Amino acid sequence: MRGTRLFVEVCGDASEPALLYLHGGPGFGCHEFILWQAGLLGGELRLIAFDQRGVLRSDPVGEDEQLTENVLVEDCEALRQALGVERWAVLGHSFGGRLALRYAERYPARVTCVLFECPGWDVEASERYRLPVLADLYDSLGETALARECRDLSARADMFAEGYRLDLLAGLDARGVAWYLADQGFLLAMKEAAPQLTSEDHTATAAMKLIDDPGGRESLLPMLSGLQMPALLIVGESDLVTSPGQISAFRGQVPNGRVEVFGHCGHFVQLEQADEYSALVTAFVLQNQDTSS
């Protein structure tokens, strides 16, 4: 499809309303979401999820191949056509929330409703929001130099002048993904759900292409006012990606928007409150399903 092969998972009956899930990262894959949510969402919806171009079980991207958010949006539309879906709901988590917004803005006639879970529509706003929190975490670990770097970067006028500082996140990821979670009791479940990567895995190549692309740091907040279909924003109370300003922008700009904040949840509401999450997503999609046919 469009010169590559994508790994796609489809769960649920073809007669049910279709829901496209767009994973985060970039480079996270749909493996975890399927493990946590397919059995819950697949009863009343036709859940469609895929590893984005170059990620995990999808084909690798070439060293000279261009990879941007717009390329991934066109992959979504090609997938819709290949599956014969007339219209579908679209759900994007984190980085996938950027793709969901771009897709809904570009192909509104194909979207019944759009859902976002902890999206990062404005990467700079997200970084300025979470870097001081990460600094506090580093301080608690005795890593005062890294804490100082986080605070200095958050105050810098051009925080991306030297590229995206992945190392400041990696220093905490090396200790696990605990900073993504409100309840550390889910840390083991998250680690166990992660696919086992081989040394030959190609995901990092695709992820770095997207991270290095200037378009990936473009603020998409101006696009929110163009959303005319029903839209749902799901955020965890302690999530560090969807900053308060981004939530306010959604509330103020999306005419048919609704915000649901999950208490005692971090970046992965889909895991920490799986049942409540699936019930909300299912109800929203069913309430706004395509009845034109």
Among candidates 235, 284, 225, which has minimal Cα distance to 255? 225
Same-domain check for residues 223 and 240: yes
Asked whether residue 37 is domain-assigned, the answer is yes
Same-domain check for residues 165 and 23: no
Contact 150, 134 (CB under 8 A): yes
Same-domain check for residues 30 and 171: no
Same-domain check for residues 215 and 139: no
Same-domain check for residues 133 and 87: no
> The CATH number of the domain where 35 resides is what?
3.40.50.1820
Q: Which of 134, 150, 180 is the last residue of a domain?
A: 180
**pTM given for the model:** 0.95
What pLDDT shows up at residue 167?
A: 79
How do residues 105-147 score in pLDDT, each as one tens digit? Answer: 999 999 999 999 999 999 999 999 999 998 998 998 899 998 9
Same-domain check for residues 151 and 130: yes
Instruction: Compute the Cα dihedral for 285, 288, 291, 293 and give only its sign.
Output: negative
Q: Tell me what the pLDDT averaged over the chain comes to.
A: 91
Task: Please determine, for residue 165, whether its predicted confidence score (pLDDT) is greater than 80.
Answer: yes
Same-domain check for residues 110 and 133: no
Which domain, by its residues, includes 237? 8-122+196-287
Q: How far is CA 172 from the centre of its chain?
A: 20
Asked whether residue 191 is domain-assigned, the answer is no
d(CA 31, CA 288): 27
